[in-house]
A and B are shown apart, each in its own frame.
Chain A
Amino acid sequence: MHRNKTAYLIAVVFVAGLVGTGCSSTEPVTEIRQPQQDMSDREALFWSNRESSRTNYTEADVDFMTKMIAHHAQALVMSALARGSAHQHSGRQQAADMPGMLSWEQLEELAASKGSDFDRSYLTFMIQHHEGAVIMVQELFSTNGAALDVEIFQLASEINAEQITEIERMKQMLETMSHK
């Protein structure tokens, strides 16, 4: 039975090949999807609605997203320090006016510490850093007209839930460490 099946498989592939070459009007499919060409009214409506949903952002939304990128970049620097692979000058240009951001001195302190001191500093600073993200989400949500866009709303909600859980976890870790 298995041998027969193989034979049929070959036949199916062969027939498929014939159909593929014989009915060229259905192929190549890439030609069908030229923009603005053959686009149905419904599809045109779809793209115009998608576009207009993107112009819904307020300044606070854009600000939040921009700051969150810089904020996350610093977390990456901290993690790189933990792996011992940070470059000396990375993070120098971080904006200092964001909540939770580590000062250059704090980053240097972290880079200079070793062993369990490093672990403690790392957790302490990472809690500070995470709390900054929570504050930024709170600021966003307390700004009139902000986070009405569903994508921003979803992202900010996820950041919020995640950071709060992480903060709790890190606090517990710090506590356990200080009991040692």
Chain B
Amino acid sequence: MRYTDNYNRKVRITDAGLYRLPLLMAGVILFIFSGCSSSEQVQVQQNLSPALMPVSEIQAPHPDPRVGLSPGVFDAEEAIWNLRLISTTPPPDNFVGSTATDLAFKGNYAIQGDYNGFMVWDISDPENPVLVVDFLCPASQSDVSVYGDLLFVSGEGLEGRLDCGIDAPRTAVSEVRLRGIRIFDISDIRNPRYVANVQTCRGSHTHSVLVDPNDDENVYVYVSGSAPVRPEDELPGCSSALPDDDPNSALFRIEVIKVPLANPELAAIVNSPRIFEDLTAPPTHGPAPDDMAVIERARARGAFVGNFNGTPRVLNSGMVRRYLTRIVEERGGTGDPTAADSAALRERLPEFIAEITRLRGRGLSGRGPNQCHDITLYPELGIAGGACEGYGLLLDISDPANPVRIDAVADSNFAYWHSASFNNDGTTVIFTDEWGGGTQPKCRAADPLEWGANAIYSIKDGKMEFQSYFKMSAPQTTMENCVAHNGSLIPIPGRDIMVQSWYQGGINVFDFSDPANPVEIAYHDRGPISLDRLETGGSWSIYWYNGVLINSEIYRGLDIFELLPGDHITENEIAAANTVQMNYFNPQGQPKFAWPASYALVRAYADQLERNREADMTTLQMIRTGIIEAERAGSAGKTSVLSRLAAEVENRAGSTGNPDKMARIATALKELATAS
């Protein structure tokens, strides 16, 4: 359904509620148990069946309304599902047409990088974000991070100047060129002061600020730069020779900068770890379940299945014909191959495959990646995910200046490992593949959903195991650059949910609690900027920050969304997520979320038990009515109600399908019982 709203945006709204009116009735019953306070409504209904739909059964709007949206720079048609766009605010005139990049957050401010510099938005009122700083300081890509009173900005392009001037240095070797990290003092965030630089040999495409839990005097900045090495005349010591020829080569390494918080002007490179050293042949993940099924079916009907570097593949008929002909020739025979030839082929298949892999160079110890594109740090767990060109790396960062590689994965479906995100438990890591570099249309109808997608790995004992791919699935036009890009977790307790950018493919929200079966549960998309030519635009990054989703739109400014409740995420789950409050947030420095005990938390867990059919409705009603009673009992009477409920929950935990979640409910109830 399309309509034109007050802001003159052309919107296709897909209302979750309209879709599931029958569930509304169940919802009303739920509401009675969870929200209302009049006593006659608190009654236990017997034989209720679970109403919340399992995530895997959620029906996305069909046909997909993201297909065929009309174009426009600031007035493109939009499609939205399970989200509300609270506001969209265009960039100031001096940033119009310039590329906005990544986001960082401090207090009530969102800092948005831009090839022109950076902007600071006051987001206290999400309906009306107010631009408070537009700082001109050109350099791509101006990725931003904050810590304390400091703002860090990446400079990689040749146009960056030490003094932030807008006249790009026009000589190949320049004394005024900045390629590396700029440091600003933002103790008065409305008046940033440029206080320091750290120059690096390859500039800084991205960076990640590591806040070491054991060090409150310094932070560390991991710098990734993928551009060519600068001339030694511009920055002494920079060598672009291959490491075999020059051990000091700036290639095949990252830089670690130590920043003394009290003296940021003393920030300097303290290590250049070669975390790619000795990367041998890329291990490949096993086939996805569907591929495996195809292979098993092929095997069952007698097809030739070979083992290519540990991955089974069905030989195509051309290969089989060639090998059979060869076997016939080798025995000096003529004519059609016999059954014995066929058996001989089965026998000799490993030998033939070894020939192929030798020829293609696979299985050889080729040199691995030259650089990382991005590194996501998870300091509380002492690990980091490195998205490094042809590899996804797992790093141990417990010694901040000396990251050590503990595992590496590669995948022939992945063209360019771009960024990483962990789930909150650190048991799952998502890597994105920026196939085509982000400037190309890679979401066309015929593009495989495994290419330019996310790859989801589980982490067990420091090893990554492939689980699945996930890609925004609505076909986009050839005028829309589209591929997996940046995103963050949404802190729904008890579930793994991420919001992510797909450039002109828009943004989406997906549930990867079951890492083998990710499910899209919400989205927003605009039509192309133009149907006449491809302008590299769309969403650069979107992150959850203190209850809202903030989107850095490359040309269209700043969007702020909120989640709409439904079966996919209930009101209670949203309320529980919103109990998480951050003072600052750098998406490349992942914080570990902790949820304070709250009634919303208990209700959210109860909703999940219902959604996943893990507890019977009687148990869930007991929990829900118990909470209402406790709310009604007030501070004086709630302790006994909650303690009793906690004991009963513990008592029943073992008979449910998720004793762990029941235990978490009990823990929260006990904390609530004793809280004043």
B-binding residues in A (CB < 8 A) = 1, 4-5, 8-9, 12, 15-16, 19-20, 23, 25-27, 29-30, 32-33, 40, 42-43, 45-50, 53, 119, 137-138, 141-148, 150-151, 153-154, 156-158, 160-161, 164-165, 167-173, 176
Q: In the bound complex, what is the Cα–Cα distance between A153 and B172 (angstroms)?
A: 13
Distance in angstroms from A167 CB to nearest chain B CB is 8
Q: Is the CB of B10 within 8 A of A32?
A: yes
Q: Are B439 and A154 in contact (CB under 8 A)?
A: yes
How long is the Cα–Cα vector from A32 to B535 in the complex, in angstroms?
19
**Contact (Cβ within 8 A) A45 B93:** yes
Q: Which one of B73, B98, B99 has the greatest number of beta carbons of chain A within 10 Å?
A: B73
Sample (30) of A-B pairs whose CB atoms are under 8 Å apart: A1-B22, A5-B19, A5-B22, A19-B2, A25-B4, A26-B2, A26-B3, A26-B4, A26-B10, A27-B2, A33-B75, A40-B74, A42-B73, A42-B93, A46-B97, A49-B97, A50-B97, A144-B171, A144-B172, A145-B171, A146-B172, A153-B158, A156-B228, A161-B227, A161-B370, A165-B367, A165-B369, A167-B242, A171-B367, A172-B364
Q: Do A32 and B75 touch across chains, with their CB atoms under 8 A apart?
A: yes
Cβ-defined contact, B22 with A168, below 8 A: no
Contact A45 B96 (CB under 8 A): yes
* A173 close to B361 (CB less than 8 A): yes
In the assembled complex, which residues on chain B have CB atoms less than 8 Å from the CB atom of A137? 228
Given A145-B171, A168-B366, A173-B364, check contact A161 B389 (CB 8 Å). yes
- Cross-interface CB contact of A148 among B22, B71, B158, cutoff 8 Å: B158
| Residues 100-159 of B at the A interface (beta carbon under 8 Å) | 115, 140, 157-159
Contact with A along B67-81 (1 / 0, CB 8 A): 000111111010000
Decide: A32 near B97, CB < 8 A? Known: A8-B19, A147-B158.
no
Taken residue by residue from 1 to 44, chain B's Cβ proximity to chain A (1 for < 8 Å, 0 otherwise) reads as 11110000010000000111111000000000000000000000
Cβ A161 vs Cβ B157 within 8 A: no
Closest approach, in angstroms, between the C-beta of B417 and any C-beta of chain A? 12
| Interchain CA distance A29-B68 in the complex, whole Å | 11
Task: List residues of chain A with CB within 8 A of the CB of B168.
Answer: 148
Residues on B lying within 8 angstroms of A by beta carbon are 1-4, 10, 18-23, 59, 70-75, 77, 90, 93, 96-99, 115, 140, 157-159, 168, 170-172, 226-228, 231, 240, 242, 251, 359, 361, 364-371, 389-390, 437, 439, 535-536, 555
A4 to B96, CA, bound (A): 49
Question: In the assembled complex, which residues on chain A have CB atoms less than 8 Å from the CB atom of B364?
Answer: 172-173, 176
Kindly list chain A residues whose C-beta atoms are within 8 Å of the C-beta of B72: 32-33
B443 shortest CB reach to chain A, Å? 20
Residues of B contacting A20 in the complex (Cβ-Cβ under 8 angstroms): 1-2
Q: Which residue of B lies closest to A159 (CB)?
A: B228
Most buried by A among B77, B158, B228, B367: B228
Chain B hits for A8, CB < 8 A: 18-22
- Find chain A residues with CB under 8 A from B242 CB: 164, 167-168
Partner of B227, one of A46, A160, A170: A160
Q: Report the bound CA distance from A50 to B73 in whole Å.
A: 12
What is the CA–CA distance of A160 and B99 in the complex, to the nearest angstrom? 23
Tell me how far the C-beta of A30 lies from the nearest C-beta in chain B, rounded to whole angstroms. 6
Within 8 Å by CB of A42, from B70, B96, B170, B251, lies: B96
Which A residues are CB-close (under 8 A) to B157? 148, 150, 153
CA distance A172 to B370 in the complex (A): 15
Cβ of A9 and Cβ of B70 under 8 Å apart? Answer: no
CB distance from A121 to the nearest CB of B (A): 14
Asked whether, in the complex, the Cβ of B366 is within 8 Å of the Cβ of A19, the reply is no
Q: Which residues of B contact A49 (CB under 8 A)?
A: 96-98
Residue of B nearest to A157 (CB): B227
> How distant is the Cα of A170 from the Cα of B77 in the complex, in angstroms?
48
CA distance in complex: A141, B231 (Å): 9
Say yes or no: A30 contacts B70, CB within 8 Å: yes
B366:A46 contact, CB within 8 angstroms: no
CA distance A15 to B77 in the complex (A): 20
- Nearest CB of A to B475, in Å: 18
B3: contacting residue among A19, A119, A169, CB under 8 A: A19
Assembly CA distance A26 to B172 (angstroms): 53
A145 contact set on B, CB distance < 8 A: 170-171
Q: Which residues of A contact B93 (CB under 8 A)?
A: 42, 45
The docked-state distance in angstroms from the alpha carbon of A9 to that of B63 is 12
Taking the closest CB of chain B, its distance from the CB of A117, in whole angstroms, is 13
B3 contacts which chain A residues (CB < 8 A)? 19, 23, 26
Enumerate the 5 nearest inter-chain pairs by beta-carbon distance, A residue then B residue, closest first.
A49-B97, A168-B367, A29-B70, A169-B366, A157-B227
User: Are A154 and B555 neighbours in the complex by a CB distance under 8 Å?
Assistant: no
Cα distance A150–B231 in the bound complex, in angstroms: 19
In the complex, what residues of A have CB within 8 A of residue B10's CB? Answer: 26, 29, 32
- The distance in angstroms between the C-alpha atoms of A116 and B311, with both chains bound, is 26
By a CB distance below 8 angstroms, the chain B residues around A48 are 97
C-alpha spacing A5/B198, complex, angstroms: 60
> Which residues of the other chain, A, contact B18 by a CB distance below 8 angstroms?
8, 12
Given contacts A8-B21, A45-B93, A154-B140, 10 further A-B contacts (CB under 8 A): A23-B3, A29-B77, A42-B93, A43-B74, A137-B228, A146-B172, A153-B227, A160-B227, A164-B251, A173-B364
